[in-house]
């Protein structure tokens, strides 16, 4: 099949999917969980081929770790699929209801987006998460995983697609792309595909945007900031900064820039620097920072850099407003935190920082679909429309307006023979 034919089949499937009952979708999810359990050996064997090739190619340790799909990972993803059963169906929900006139009722009802293309990285468990989130929300999906996970993804996609189809889902609801050329072809199908979710670097997301008219929900880099206010509990600030930077450095919600109020810089920075250095963090600083602690001078470019590594850029600021301006200028709209005991300052920070996740007195690493209690996530959106922050089931639906009449025509209202009532109705 060509990519166009695959997209056409997904589009046709999406229409049927949109009309499936919650019960049918849950039965399909149960079938998927059972099939994953039954085919566990095949999946792990396929993953062994990928792992062997990755080792032979000399891929770095962290990638090997993410690529690995063993019995423990299998149990995790099966538990993840089963946890989706308990979540309520995001589609078919009446979001608003209005009587426009007697016998003329308007409902705003949530529905699936349609066909979603997701391009993700090396973890095979991401394929399971994304495909089952799409199933639960009633979307057809075209998926492209990391090439180093090709064998694992083939088996996983086949097992999931076939189990769901046997349980009543339409053929073609889930399809796997394998090459970059496939992705480029997919980006041209703007009449068939409704949304693309690229997970990867800013450069990659920009490449997708430059090469497609399909709307893009950006899952891009995170240049996350912590601002330590002059009214902060400095011990708490140190602990939050260490966790935000070091708990897992290679992820988008890890800290990249630390902003410190001038009034507490001389007291806070030495203790923070010691804690960070003992974890192996290299420090870069503005001139004021370098006057207080030993740090390499930060360049202008450092404020715009996502290190994803044991590196932290530090800047001393004169005020909370300077911190907010710095974040709005250099941040990526991902996750930023203020550490302060001053509620007014916290509210100001949370209302003026234009990011998807704005925190007060806790680690940036909490910015995550599981930790938010959303179930799984298809990614973290740094877009400013549709869905922002961790995107779970709710980010995968849109709505349609359903109007039920009894023969009403607009001429009667335009010519004054009838009037609108616009009475809110219960959503039932």
Q: Closer CB to a second copy, residue 44 or residue 246?
A: 246
The set of residues, in sequence order, having a beta carbon less than 8 Å from that of 305 and lying 6+ positions away, is: 223, 256, 313
Q: Is 90 in the site for a second copy (CB under 8 A)?
A: no
Q: Vertex 215, ends 211 and 219: CA angle to 5°?
A: 85
Q: Is 207 in the site for a second copy (CB under 8 A)?
A: no
DSSP state of 366: G
Contact 328, 321 (CB under 8 A): no
- Closest separation in Å from C-beta 296 to a second copy: 26
Contact 35, 163 (CB under 8 A): yes
Element (H, E) at 33: helix 22-38
Taking CB under 8 A as the criterion, the residue among 24, 94, 239, 322 binding a second copy is: 239
Q: Closer CB to a second copy, residue 45 or residue 95?
A: 95
Whose structure tokens read 């699936």? Answer: 112
88: helix, coil or strand? coil
- Closest separation in Å from C-beta 363 to a second copy: 5
Subset of residues 165 to 204 that bind a second copy, contact rule: CB under 8 A: 194-195
- Closest separation in Å from C-beta 103 to a second copy: 9
- Closest separation in Å from C-beta 416 to a second copy: 14
Q: Vertex 230, ends 227 and 236: CA angle to 5°?
A: 65
Whose structure tokens read 């699929």? Answer: 81
The set of residues, in sequence order, having a beta carbon less than 8 Å from that of 146 and lying 6+ positions away, is: 67, 120, 121, 122, 123
- Closest separation in Å from C-beta 410 to a second copy: 4
Whose structure tokens read 């070091």? Answer: 246
Taking CB under 8 A as the criterion, the residue among 414, 417, 426, 428 binding a second copy is: 414
Q: State how far the Cα of 120 lies from the Cα of 232, in Å rounded to an integer.
A: 39
Subset of residues 242 to 261 that bind a second copy, contact rule: CB under 8 A: 242-244, 247-248
Stretch that binds a second copy, among 25-33, 215-223, 281-289, 309-317 (CB under 8 A): 215-223
- Closest separation in Å from C-beta 422 to a second copy: 4
Subset of residues 91 to 120 that bind a second copy, contact rule: CB under 8 A: 98, 100, 104, 106, 113-114
Q: State how far the Cα of 312 lies from the Cα of 306, in Å rounded to an integer.
A: 10
Q: State how far the Cα of 368 lies from the Cα of 386, in Å rounded to an integer.
A: 18
Taking CB under 8 A as the criterion, the residue among 154, 277, 348, 418 binding a second copy is: 348
- Closest separation in Å from C-beta 197 to a second copy: 11
Q: Closer CB to a second copy, residue 59 or residue 106?
A: 106
Q: Closer CB to a second copy, residue 27 or residue 108?
A: 108
Subset of residues 285 to 344 that bind a second copy, contact rule: CB under 8 A: 324, 328
Contact 82, 383 (CB under 8 A): no
Q: State how far the Cα of 218 lies from the Cα of 197, in Å rounded to an integer.
A: 6
Q: Which tokens in the block code for residue 242?
A: 């260490």
Q: Which tokens in the block code for residue 163?
A: 């189990």
- Closest separation in Å from C-beta 269 to a second copy: 19
Q: Closer CB to a second copy, residue 248 or residue 297?
A: 248
- Closest separation in Å from C-beta 419 to a second copy: 11
Q: State how far the Cα of 371 lies from the Cα of 387, in Å rounded to an integer.
A: 17
Q: Per residue in 295-305, is it b (16+ CB within 10 Å) or e — as a string?
A: beebeeebbbb
Q: Is 15 in the site for a second copy (CB under 8 A)?
A: yes
Subset of residues 127 to 166 that bind a second copy, contact rule: CB under 8 A: none
Q: Closer CB to a second copy, residue 280 or residue 373?
A: 373
Contact 250, 361 (CB under 8 A): no
Applying CB under 8 A, what is the total number of residues that bind a second copy? 77
Subset of residues 353 to 412 that bind a second copy, contact rule: CB under 8 A: 354-363, 365-367, 371-373, 383-386, 388-390, 398-411
Q: Closer CB to a second copy, residue 43 or residue 272?
A: 272
- Closest separation in Å from C-beta 413 to a second copy: 7
Stretch that binds a second copy, among 14-22, 120-128, 260-268, 298-306 (CB under 8 A): 14-22
Q: Closer CB to a second copy, residue 204 or residue 372?
A: 372
- Count of positions (residues) in the chain: 428
């Amino acid at each position: 099949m060509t990519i166009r034919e695959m997209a056409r089949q997904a589009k046709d499937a999406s229409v049927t999917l949109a009309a499936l009952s919650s019960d049918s979708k849950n039965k399909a999810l149960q079938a998927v969980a059972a099939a994953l359990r039954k085919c566990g050996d095949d999946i792990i064997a396929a993953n062994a081929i990928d792992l062997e090739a990755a080792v032979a190619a000399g891929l770095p340790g962290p990638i090997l770790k993410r690529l690995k799909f063993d019995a423990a990972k299998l149990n995790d993803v099966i538990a993840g699929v089963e946890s989706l059963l308990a979540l309520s169906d995001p589609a078919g929900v009446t979001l608003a209801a209005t009587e426009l006139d007697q016998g003329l009722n308007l409902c705003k009802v949530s529905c699936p987006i349609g066909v979603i293309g997701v391009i993700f990285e090396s973890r095979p468990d991401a394929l399971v998460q994304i495909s089952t989130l799409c199933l639960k929300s009633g979307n057809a999906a075209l998926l492209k995983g990391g090439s180093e996970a090709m064998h694992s993804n083939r088996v996983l996609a086949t097992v999931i697609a076939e189990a769901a189809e046997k349980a009543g889902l339409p053929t073609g609801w889930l399809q796997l792309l394998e090459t970059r050329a496939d992705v480029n072809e997919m980006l041209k199908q703007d009449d068939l595909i409704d949304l693309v979710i690229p997970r990867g670097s800013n450069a990659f997301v920009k490449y997708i945007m430059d090469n497609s008219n399909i709307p893009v929900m950006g899952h891009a880099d995170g240049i996350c900031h912590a601002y330590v206010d002059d009214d902060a509990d400095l011990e708490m600030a140190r602990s939050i900064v260490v966790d935000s930077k070091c708990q897992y450095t290679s992820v988008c919600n890890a800290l990249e820039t630390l902003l410190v109020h001038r009034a507490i810089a001389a007291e806070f920075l030495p203790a923070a620097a010691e804690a960070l250095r003992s974890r192996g963090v290299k420090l870069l600083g503005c001139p004021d920072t370098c006057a207080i602690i030993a740090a390499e001078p930060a360049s202008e470019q450092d404020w715009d850099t996502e290190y994803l590594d044991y590196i932290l850029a530090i800047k001393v600021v004169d005020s909370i407003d300077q911190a907010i301006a710095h974040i709005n200028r250099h941040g990526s709209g991902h996750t930023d935190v203020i550490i302060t005991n001053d509620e007014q300052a916290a509210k100001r920070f949370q209302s003026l920082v234009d990011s998807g996740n704005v925190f007060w007195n806790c680690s940036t690493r909490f910015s995550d679909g599981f930790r938010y209690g959303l179930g799984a996530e298809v990614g973290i959106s740094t877009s400013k429309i549709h869905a922002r922050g961790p995107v779970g089931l709710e980010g995968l639906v849109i709505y349609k307006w359903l109007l039920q009449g009894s023969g009403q025509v607009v001429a009667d209202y335009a010519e004054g023979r009838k009037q609108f009532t616009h009475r809110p109705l219960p959503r039932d």
